[in-house]
Chain A
Amino acid sequence: AQTVTQSQPEMSVQEAETVTLSCTYDTSENNYYLFWYKQPPSRQMILVIRQEAYKQQNATENRFSVNFQKAAKSFSLKISDSQLGDTAMYFCAFMRAYGGTSYGKLTFGQGTILTVHP
């Protein structure tokens, strides 16, 4: 079974500054995906960024980037130039790849509430 741990229940940052959210995971799988999802007050789960475990290069999406350390099983999210609209709950998530019983099952961490202050 996979576990995902987010050790920061809450974080805050000033607008335009940079913040890093931490995530560690445990798995015996070699092929998998890692994700960061954002859930604003509207409650919709929005995919922020995804990383394929077989790729060494860290994923980036505009102001969002990850630091993926496969050996350490660490997957942190860096948000640059934070904006008020980034205020949300952020979930780190794991999904097995290569079929079997993965069937799109996401295993989520407990979440980090991020507040961006003006």
Chain B
Amino acid sequence: DTEVTQTPKHLVMGMTNKKSLKCEQHMGHRAMYWYKQKAKKPPELMFVYSYEKLSINESVPSRFSPECPNSSLLNLHLHALQPEDSALYLCASSQEALVAQGTANEKLFFGSGTQLSVL
């Protein structure tokens, strides 16, 4: 199984709603990532989890709250979002977060994303 599964595929929410995005992988990877991609733009890193601990937060607003309940699962909790947060949210995983020569940890496997629209 070399898949990263994201649910839901599409999500529409109001600015006062609370919702969650889910990401799952069963490749035994110990690093998981959230990337955000606006239309016609490249993805940008939001968070990195390594061994279920938050390693990197790229100055993301607190209305985005990541959670890693176990090594296979990554959630992104959303609350009080703004219309400008509408984007494709991509989850990815890799064997480990630390990238070193010969480790293959640089290979990220991406999910198909959740297209989020905030009204």
A residues touching B (Cβ–Cβ < 8 Å)?
31, 33, 42-47, 50, 52, 54, 91, 95-99, 101-106, 108-111
Contact = CB atoms under 8 A, between A and B. Distances in A.
A50 B33 CA distance: 19
B99 A110 contact: no
Contacts of A105: 45, 48, 56
A108 B96 CA distance: 20
A103 B106 contact: no
Contacts, number: 76
Which 8 pairs of residues, A with B, have the shortest CB-CB distance? A108-B42, A45-B110, A44-B112, A103-B97, A99-B98, A102-B99, A33-B106, A103-B48
Given A54-B101, A97-B100, A104-B48, 12 more contacts: A45-B92, A45-B108, A47-B108, A91-B43, A97-B99, A97-B101, A99-B98, A103-B97, A104-B97, A105-B56, A111-B41, A111-B42
Nearest to B88: A43
Nearest to B98: A99
Contacts of A54: 101
Interface size class of B (residues with CB under 8 A): 20 to 34
B55 interface: yes
